[in-house]
Amino acid sequence: MSLVRRAFSFLTSPGTRSLLFGAHYPLHPIEVALAWRWLYGQWPSLREALAIAVHDLGYLGVQEFDGEDGTRHPELGARIAGLLLGEEYAALVRGHSKGYAELVGAPLSRLYGPDKLSHAFEPAWFYVLRTRATGEIRQYRATAHGCAPRCDDPGVSDEAWFRVIRARMARGGISAVLEQVGRLGEHRGR
Protein backbone atom coordinates (compact mmCIF):
# COMPACT_ATOMS: atom_id res chain seq x y z
CA MET A 1 0.00 0.00 0.00
CA SER A 2 1.40 3.38 -0.93
CA LEU A 3 2.21 6.00 1.69
CA VAL A 4 -0.60 8.25 0.42
CA ARG A 5 -3.12 5.42 0.65
CA ARG A 6 -1.96 4.52 4.17
CA ALA A 7 -2.21 8.15 5.25
CA PHE A 8 -5.70 8.44 3.77
CA SER A 9 -6.76 5.21 5.48
CA PHE A 10 -5.40 6.49 8.81
CA LEU A 11 -7.12 9.87 8.49
CA THR A 12 -10.47 8.41 7.48
CA SER A 13 -10.46 5.47 9.90
CA PRO A 14 -13.43 5.01 12.24
CA GLY A 15 -11.19 5.78 15.22
CA THR A 16 -9.95 9.06 13.79
CA ARG A 17 -13.50 10.05 12.81
CA SER A 18 -14.60 9.19 16.35
CA LEU A 19 -12.02 11.58 17.81
CA LEU A 20 -12.94 14.35 15.40
CA PHE A 21 -16.73 14.27 15.67
CA GLY A 22 -17.95 10.89 16.93
CA ALA A 23 -18.28 9.28 20.37
CA HIS A 24 -14.80 10.44 21.44
CA TYR A 25 -15.15 13.94 19.97
CA PRO A 26 -13.19 16.94 21.35
CA LEU A 27 -15.81 17.67 24.06
CA HIS A 28 -15.65 14.10 25.44
CA PRO A 29 -12.83 15.01 27.89
CA ILE A 30 -15.00 17.85 29.23
CA GLU A 31 -17.86 15.40 29.76
CA VAL A 32 -15.42 13.09 31.56
CA ALA A 33 -14.32 16.00 33.80
CA LEU A 34 -18.00 16.75 34.58
CA ALA A 35 -18.53 13.10 35.49
CA TRP A 36 -15.36 13.19 37.62
CA ARG A 37 -16.78 16.17 39.53
CA TRP A 38 -20.12 14.42 39.96
CA LEU A 39 -18.55 11.16 41.17
CA TYR A 40 -15.73 12.50 43.35
CA GLY A 41 -17.15 15.84 44.48
CA GLN A 42 -14.21 17.81 43.11
CA TRP A 43 -12.75 18.78 39.79
CA PRO A 44 -9.81 16.77 38.50
CA SER A 45 -6.42 18.29 39.31
CA LEU A 46 -4.51 19.87 36.43
CA ARG A 47 -2.49 16.66 35.95
CA GLU A 48 -5.62 14.51 36.05
CA ALA A 49 -7.29 16.87 33.56
CA LEU A 50 -4.33 16.51 31.20
CA ALA A 51 -4.53 12.72 31.51
CA ILE A 52 -8.27 12.94 30.76
CA ALA A 53 -7.51 15.05 27.69
CA VAL A 54 -5.21 12.39 26.19
CA HIS A 55 -6.88 9.19 27.44
CA ASP A 56 -8.57 8.25 24.13
CA LEU A 57 -5.98 9.53 21.63
CA GLY A 58 -5.08 5.92 20.88
CA TYR A 59 -8.22 5.71 18.75
CA LEU A 60 -6.28 7.55 16.03
CA GLY A 61 -6.19 5.25 13.02
CA VAL A 62 -8.24 2.47 14.65
CA GLN A 63 -10.33 0.43 12.20
CA GLU A 64 -12.36 -1.71 14.65
CA PHE A 65 -13.21 -0.53 18.14
CA ASP A 66 -13.52 -4.10 19.44
CA GLY A 67 -10.50 -5.30 17.47
CA GLU A 68 -7.00 -5.51 18.92
CA ASP A 69 -6.09 -1.96 17.89
CA GLY A 70 -9.28 -0.65 19.54
CA THR A 71 -8.72 -2.66 22.70
CA ARG A 72 -5.17 -1.30 22.95
CA HIS A 73 -6.24 2.33 22.48
CA PRO A 74 -5.17 3.39 26.02
CA GLU A 75 -1.50 2.76 25.18
CA LEU A 76 -0.89 5.99 23.24
CA GLY A 77 -2.57 8.20 25.84
CA ALA A 78 -0.71 6.36 28.60
CA ARG A 79 2.63 6.93 26.85
CA ILE A 80 1.87 10.63 26.48
CA ALA A 81 0.67 10.95 30.07
CA GLY A 82 3.72 9.05 31.29
CA LEU A 83 6.13 11.30 29.42
CA LEU A 84 4.43 14.53 30.48
CA LEU A 85 3.14 13.69 33.93
CA GLY A 86 4.78 10.51 35.21
CA GLU A 87 3.85 6.87 35.74
CA GLU A 88 0.96 7.57 38.12
CA TYR A 89 -0.90 9.35 35.30
CA ALA A 90 0.07 6.76 32.72
CA ALA A 91 -1.58 4.17 35.00
CA LEU A 92 -4.64 6.44 35.31
CA VAL A 93 -5.02 6.37 31.51
CA ARG A 94 -4.26 2.64 31.15
CA GLY A 95 -6.92 1.77 33.72
CA HIS A 96 -9.78 3.71 32.11
CA SER A 97 -10.62 0.80 29.79
CA LYS A 98 -11.87 -2.44 31.31
CA GLY A 99 -10.99 -4.45 28.19
CA TYR A 100 -7.43 -3.17 28.14
CA ALA A 101 -6.97 -3.54 31.90
CA GLU A 102 -8.09 -7.17 31.67
CA LEU A 103 -5.83 -7.77 28.66
CA VAL A 104 -2.67 -6.54 30.40
CA GLY A 105 -3.59 -7.43 33.99
CA ALA A 106 -3.79 -3.82 35.16
CA PRO A 107 -6.27 -2.55 37.74
CA LEU A 108 -9.08 -0.21 36.80
CA SER A 109 -8.21 3.38 37.62
CA ARG A 110 -10.17 6.33 39.01
CA LEU A 111 -10.71 7.38 35.38
CA TYR A 112 -12.82 4.30 34.58
CA GLY A 113 -15.96 5.51 36.38
CA PRO A 114 -16.03 9.06 34.99
CA ASP A 115 -15.30 7.81 31.47
CA LYS A 116 -18.30 5.45 31.60
CA LEU A 117 -20.57 8.04 33.25
CA SER A 118 -19.54 10.80 30.80
CA HIS A 119 -22.23 9.92 28.25
CA ALA A 120 -24.89 10.83 30.83
CA PHE A 121 -23.83 14.44 30.25
CA GLU A 122 -24.98 14.59 26.65
CA PRO A 123 -28.39 14.21 25.03
CA ALA A 124 -29.10 10.94 23.25
CA TRP A 125 -29.97 12.69 19.98
CA PHE A 126 -26.56 14.40 19.88
CA TYR A 127 -24.63 11.19 20.51
CA VAL A 128 -26.70 9.32 17.92
CA LEU A 129 -26.26 12.10 15.34
CA ARG A 130 -22.47 12.05 15.71
CA THR A 131 -22.06 8.27 15.80
CA ARG A 132 -24.32 7.79 12.81
CA ALA A 133 -22.19 10.28 10.89
CA THR A 134 -19.01 8.35 11.74
CA GLY A 135 -20.59 4.91 11.33
CA GLU A 136 -19.55 3.97 14.87
CA ILE A 137 -23.02 3.20 16.07
CA ARG A 138 -23.24 0.24 13.69
CA GLN A 139 -20.04 -1.25 15.16
CA TYR A 140 -21.15 -0.56 18.73
CA ARG A 141 -24.60 -2.05 18.24
CA ALA A 142 -23.25 -5.11 16.43
CA THR A 143 -20.89 -5.89 19.31
CA ALA A 144 -23.16 -5.11 22.26
CA HIS A 145 -22.77 -8.77 23.36
CA GLY A 146 -26.24 -9.04 24.86
CA CYS A 147 -25.90 -6.05 27.17
CA ALA A 148 -28.39 -4.03 25.12
CA PRO A 149 -30.81 -4.47 22.24
CA ARG A 150 -28.86 -5.60 19.20
CA CYS A 151 -28.34 -3.75 15.95
CA ASP A 152 -30.25 -6.37 14.00
CA ASP A 153 -33.49 -5.67 15.90
CA PRO A 154 -35.34 -3.26 13.57
CA GLY A 155 -37.83 -2.44 16.33
CA VAL A 156 -35.21 -0.70 18.47
CA SER A 157 -34.18 2.80 17.44
CA ASP A 158 -30.62 4.04 17.82
CA GLU A 159 -31.84 6.51 20.45
CA ALA A 160 -33.53 3.78 22.52
CA TRP A 161 -30.43 1.57 22.19
CA PHE A 162 -28.18 4.41 23.35
CA ARG A 163 -30.39 5.19 26.34
CA VAL A 164 -30.06 1.56 27.50
CA ILE A 165 -26.29 1.55 26.95
CA ARG A 166 -25.86 4.95 28.61
CA ALA A 167 -27.76 3.80 31.72
CA ARG A 168 -25.77 0.55 31.94
CA MET A 169 -22.46 2.34 31.45
CA ALA A 170 -23.39 4.93 34.10
CA ARG A 171 -24.33 2.19 36.58
CA GLY A 172 -21.07 0.39 35.80
CA GLY A 173 -19.04 3.55 36.31
CA ILE A 174 -20.77 4.39 39.59
CA SER A 175 -20.39 0.79 40.82
CA ALA A 176 -16.67 0.83 40.04
CA VAL A 177 -16.22 4.02 42.07
CA LEU A 178 -18.19 2.57 44.98
CA GLU A 179 -15.99 -0.54 44.89
CA GLN A 180 -12.87 1.65 44.95
CA VAL A 181 -14.24 3.62 47.91
CA GLY A 182 -15.10 0.38 49.70
CA ARG A 183 -11.56 -0.96 49.21
CA LEU A 184 -10.16 2.36 50.45
CA GLY A 185 -12.39 2.18 53.53
CA GLU A 186 -11.32 -1.40 54.22
CA HIS A 187 -7.68 -0.37 53.88
CA ARG A 188 -8.10 2.58 56.24
CA GLY A 189 -9.98 0.43 58.76
CA ARG A 190 -7.03 -1.94 59.25
Give me Rg for the CA atoms of the chain. Answer: 17
Using CB atoms within 10 A of its CB, is residue 161 exposed (0-12), middle (13-18) or buried (19+)? buried
Kindly state whether residue 117 falls inside one of the protein's structural domains: yes
Kindly state whether residue 3 falls inside one of the protein's structural domains: no
User: Would you place residue 152 in the very low, low, confident or very high pLDDT band (cuts 50, 70, 90)?
Assistant: low
CA distance 23 to 30: 13
Domain that holds residue 20: 9-184
DSSP state of 43: P
Number of domains in the chain: 1
| Residue whose C-alpha is closest to residue 96's, from 80, 79, 78, 82 | 78
Kindly state whether residue 163 falls inside one of the protein's structural domains: yes
pLDDT digit string, tens, across residues 94-147:
999 999 999 999 999 999 999 999 999 999 999 999 999 999 998 888 876 566
Kindly state whether residue 164 falls inside one of the protein's structural domains: yes
Kindly state whether residue 176 falls inside one of the protein's structural domains: yes
Kindly state whether residue 129 falls inside one of the protein's structural domains: yes
Kindly state whether residue 106 falls inside one of the protein's structural domains: yes
What phi and psi values does residue 144 have, to the nearest 5 degrees? -65, -15
pLDDT digit string, tens, across residues 55-98:
999 999 999 888 888 999 999 999 999 999 999 999 999 999 99
